Structure 1
Amino acid sequence: MQAAGLTPHRDWIWLPAATAVAIVAAIALLVIGLSATDGESLPPVIMLAALPLPILLFVGTQTLVWNERYAFYAAILIIILQCATLRVREIEDKSIDFQILLKLACVGSMVTLALAAMARRWPLRESSEALLWFGFFVYLIVTSANSIQPALSFVETVSNIAAFLYIYSLVRFLGVRNVAGILITACFVLCLLSIAAYFLNPQLGRMSDWVNGAFIPTSRLTGVFGTANSAGAAAAIGIMLTVLFSGLTLRRPLFYVLVAPMAFCLLASNNRMSVAAMMAGLLYVYAMRGRFGIKFAIGLLAAAIGVLVMASFGDTIMSGLSRSGSADEITSGTGRTRIWAVVIELWLEQPLFGYGAGSAKFILPFHPMLFKAAAHAHNMYLSILFSGGLIGLSIFLTSLVLTLRRAWRNQAHGTIGLVIFYLLYGMTEPTIGGLVSFLSLSFYALPCLALVSRPKGTLGSAVPAVAPFRYLPYRP
């Protein structure tokens, strides 16, 4: 039986456009309010801002009690505001500005809503895997006490555990398909804002680099994601979610409306690892959808041909794929091998507990062998090893293996495909850590989707049904 309230199949037709309009309107009102600095115009602006206060209180109350419709749309807004970066500042600048306050407010909202959800249905007792993930974040919080900046590390780590618990609550109350819709819509809006910034505000929307002695914006898109790599990875995740979890077929125009801005951001970001990891995840799902033997044989043949081609023309191919025209850029991971060597060298000095969550940004950029932009390990596994030591990495890998086992047993191949993306992409980027972003937030959706999955054909299964976005919240 379909639950009362939201019917995403109908609402999805206008949801992306309505959300985009709402975000633009909110930004416009904010600009108007900030520009009203003289004594005569400020009071009317304050009065105008106070008009929707009763509505906001009503919506907030409905969201807090987990009314499905309000929780659905509130999640989209919270994720967009949490993940969008609308200003440019130096890496070492850790001051608190309006945007940081807004992000902290979103973190507070996630904490509040997660606690309200757990008060109604305590989630961690239902799964040992969920308890282990929770233990991993608690351990990171403990390690933040030993970091270079304990207060900052504590806030960043709390934001990650808040995101995990919030996403878990969304999956439990709204169902897998609706949570996928939330993430897809948020990614769609963030990509639209990124494209606008790319063309209208290059200082914000494009990655800057040294060109002919000048530090200027290049053609690589960063958008509102903060970095080009984050933009590419977020767009790739949005595409995979649309393909694997939306239920939209290639015959639906809405599929192309959603994917088009994501594809543009993926290509304009020039993030090669995101493209490769996305293709690997989608190929895995395709291989598991029947005729595995034939597809496996074709895959082996293609891999053999690829090895032969690389053996014969490897240098030429890698030079063509590199941005600088040098094959060394590919073999060194764009300088990442030097960062990895320093990370391992430093970790060996504190192998068991690491340096504390969030410490990398205060240590690596100041190492004599590195540079200012080396603010993290550029590797998910090394990043966890550096911050949490062997204990932290062991808990993380154990949680990941148990989650994959649950997804495999329940044939949740879409979720496994997303995990494959993160496993490969994590070889060149940290993925999790710092203040929660779209990339880390969507990563936390993976264990949540796996933990609520059921054997294929049962209610709650992570395997997409035929009807797109059928609203079937989990019922224990």
Structure 2
Amino acid sequence: MATGMRKILTVVAAPARKAAAMMKKAATPLRKAVSPLRKVAAPFARALAPLAKHLAPLSKGPAFLRKGVVALREKARAAKLTIATCGLALFLGLFISLMGINSYAVMVALVVGLAAMVVACFILYAGVHGREWAISLSFILITFTIDATFRRRGDMADSGMDAQTLLKLVLWGGGFLIGALNFSHIKNALAESVPLRWLLAFATWSFFSTVYSITPTYTFGGGFGYLALLCFVAVVVQKLGMAKLRMGAIYACGLLTTSALALYAVMPSIAVAQLENGSTPRLCGLTGSPNNLGRTAAIALFFIFFAVRDKQVKFWRPDIAIIALSAVVSLLMSWSRTSLAGVIAAIAIVFLRRRILLMLWGAIGVLTTFFAMILANVDWDRLISVFSRHGSLSELTTLTGRTAIWHFVWNAIEKKPLLGYGYGSTKLLISSGFWTVFGWTTTSAHNMFLQALVTTGAVGALCIVMVILLQLRDFVKRPNDMADAAFIFVLITGFSEAGAVGVAPNLLTIFWLMSLVVPRGERVAEQVPEQVQPLRGESWALPARPTGSWT
């Protein structure tokens, strides 16, 4: 059959080849006739070349004409903005009158909400078109709101949609658009960072776990948020540079810590969470959880330390000093021992790893103190209980009840070890089946690996393990102080908290992504962000400037 087809094609193609050969022969005399004309015209072209250079500016129009066009464009933009504002005002008036809204509070809320939507659309438009200020503002907004909560849900298992969840989805969606429309940066980040590829696989699997999740709506929103943040952070790190991004994170975290203290001074009942049957008051602020506030404060101190170390800012600068002080107070009042230990250990390990002699003397000092305490017959129970909130040793040995949570979670894992219950499903799984003797429950596994395993199964947990192993390899072979310190912080907090793979994307997720996207290798003195390209019809451009690095 194949031989027959070849014969048919040969018969059909033969006339076409003959026709092409005849056309080529017919065109040969024409080429020969045109060739002398080219030689005659060449001197005239060379003579007119200088005149063409002088006439080139005139082809673009006189200067006053161009200025007039620019002025008309500006007036047209102003006219469009005026028409849009009038249209929005007319819409609001008609909406209020038709709906019969008589409450001034509802009217104000409606106007503020629509105004916020218009501003958000404007910021998103500017961010998609590469405006640096819009991308920076988007990063600060997402970082501030990701752990903030403006309502208190009575039912912890409630995974329905409300205004706050919708706001976060809108912000994540804007971040996803900024990332997706600058896909080349995502491609470059994935090419440079192998751990980021594995985290992308985890985010993708989390999103598709919606298919079998016991909380499909919540899983869909959380999985989409993880993908959106990955795309957004990959673009932001490359376009802004780590120095500007670091300052944005400091201000976003500073807003949460300072607002927590301000709220505590004005309305302490709202700013404080009464945990463990009301026996342990802990500061939570707008984050809704003491551990979330402690994590936010620790990250603020983390970035301030490296900004001061790299001489990007001075510690006694008023805004930095205020944020640092509020972060320290918030960290202590939240009683978040994991975050405190994490930030101290992260900075200490990175500080000591190039100082072998100092590390050796430190180890000798610790061992000497330990043996001296043994010889002095110290009451260990009493000493250890100092670090307990209630002075109880069992609180530390059970990690404040976490061992019971881990036992419950492991039993759930044994039932669905391969796929898990869907990303973020512990919000329903644990809160509806686990209760302590004090009558309280939780929404996460309080362990990074167990959280990934119970929600996304062995498939998702494998991705997380690969990310950690690859970061550990980079820690040894391609050191980068700030990225490595962030990795240590994520590991330590991930031991007793769900951390970067929690019930929903959180501040630690952004923090981890930043450490994965940053370029590794030799110590880099400067990192220059990409120049922002102007919009069509505009002539502005921001100069490329050195902005520091994760060193």
Match among 499, 520, 526 for residue 453 of structure 1: 520
Distance 1:136 1:278, change over 3 A: same
1:436 aligns with 2:508: no
Tell me the residue number matched to 1:295.
Answer: 359
Taking the aligned partners of 1:47 and 1:282, their CA distance within structure 2 comes to 47
Q: Which 5+ residue runs of structure 2 have no aligned equivalent?
A: 1-95, 529-544
Tell me the residue number matched to 2:158.
Answer: 93
Q: Give, as a single letter, the amino acid of the residue that structure 1 aligns with 2:176.
A: V
Deviation of 1:66 after TM superposition, in Å, equals: 1.9
Deviation of 1:230 after TM superposition, in Å, equals: 1.1
SS at match of 1:248: coil
1:170-185 superposed matches below 5 A: 170-185=236-251
Tell me the residue number matched to 2:391.
Answer: 325
Q: Give, as a single letter, the amino acid of the residue that structure 1 aligns with 2:240.
A: L
SS at match of 1:122: helix
Deviation of 1:377 after TM superposition, in Å, equals: 0.8
1:273 aligns with 2:338: yes
1:331-350 superposed matches below 5 A: 331-350=397-416
Deviation of 1:70 after TM superposition, in Å, equals: 2.4
1:416 aligns with 2:484: yes
Tell me the residue number matched to 1:208.
Answer: 274
Match among 215, 234, 240 for residue 296 of structure 2: 234
SS at match of 1:365: coil
The sequence identity of aligned pairs, in percent, is 23
Q: Which 5+ residue runs of structure 1 have no aligned equivalent?
A: 1-32, 462-469
Taking the aligned partners of 1:262 and 1:47, their CA distance within structure 2 comes to 34
Q: Give, as a single letter, the amino acid of the residue that structure 1 aligns with 2:455.
A: S
Q: Give, as a single letter, the amino acid of the residue that structure 1 aligns with 2:174.
A: S
Taking the aligned partners of 1:374 and 1:44, their CA distance within structure 2 comes to 37
SS at match of 1:168: helix
1:70 aligns with 2:167: no
1:145 aligns with 2:211: yes
Distance 1:410 1:68, change over 3 A: farther
Deviation of 1:435 after TM superposition, in Å, equals: 2.7
Deviation of 1:454 after TM superposition, in Å, equals: 3.9
Taking the aligned partners of 2:479 and 2:429, their CA distance within structure 1 comes to 42
- Bigger Rg, structure 1 or 2: 2
Report the more deviating stretch, 161-170 or 37-46: 37-46
Q: Give, as a single letter, the amino acid of the residue that structure 1 aligns with 2:488.
A: I
Tell me the residue number matched to 2:12.
Answer: none
Distance 1:440 1:205, change over 3 A: farther
Q: Give, as a single letter, the amino acid of the residue that structure 2 aligns with 1:189.
A: L
Distance 1:336 1:53, change over 3 A: closer
Taking the aligned partners of 2:117 and 2:392, their CA distance within structure 1 comes to 58
Tell me the residue number matched to 2:64.
Answer: none
SS at match of 2:181: helix
1:472 aligns with 2:523: no
1:341-420 superposed matches below 5 A: 341-367=407-433, 372-420=440-488
Distance 1:303 1:134, change over 3 A: farther
Taking the aligned partners of 1:138 and 1:155, their CA distance within structure 2 comes to 12
Distance 1:62 1:471, change over 3 A: farther
After superposition, the C-alpha distances for 1:85-110 in whole angstroms (9 at most, x for unaligned) are 12222212333322222112111111
More helix by proportion, 1 or 2?
2
1:188 aligns with 2:254: yes
Report the more deviating stretch, 163-172 or 347-356: 347-356
TM-score by length of 2: 0.70
Taking the aligned partners of 2:153 and 2:115, their CA distance within structure 1 comes to 34
Indicate if the aligned counterparts of 1:366 and 1:372 stay in contact, CA closer than 8 A. no
SS at match of 2:143: helix
Indicate if the aligned counterparts of 2:420 and 2:454 stay in contact, CA closer than 8 A. yes
After superposition, the C-alpha distances for 1:193-223 in whole angstroms (9 at most, x for unaligned) are 2222223233431112366xxx58x531011
Tell me the residue number matched to 1:316.
Answer: 382
Q: Which protein has greater RCO, CA pairs closer than 8 Å, 6+ apart?
A: 1
Indicate if the aligned counterparts of 2:206 and 2:219 stay in contact, CA closer than 8 A. no
After superposition, the C-alpha distances for 1:106-126 in whole angstroms (9 at most, x for unaligned) are 111111111122156633344
Taking the aligned partners of 2:394 and 2:105, their CA distance within structure 1 comes to 59
RMSD: 3.1
Q: Give, as a single letter, the amino acid of the residue that structure 2 aligns with 1:98.
A: A
SS at match of 2:274: strand
Report the more deviating stretch, 40-49 or 360-369: 40-49
* Paired residue total: 426
Distance 1:454 1:49, change over 3 A: same
Indicate if the aligned counterparts of 1:407 and 1:453 stay in contact, CA closer than 8 A. no
Deviation of 1:339 after TM superposition, in Å, equals: 1.0
Indicate if the aligned counterparts of 1:82 and 1:102 stay in contact, CA closer than 8 A. no
Taking the aligned partners of 2:378 and 2:397, their CA distance within structure 1 comes to 16
Deviation of 1:346 after TM superposition, in Å, equals: 2.1
Q: Give, as a single letter, the amino acid of the residue that structure 2 aligns with 1:162.
A: A
Indicate if the aligned counterparts of 2:159 and 2:215 stay in contact, CA closer than 8 A. no
TM-score by length of 1: 0.80
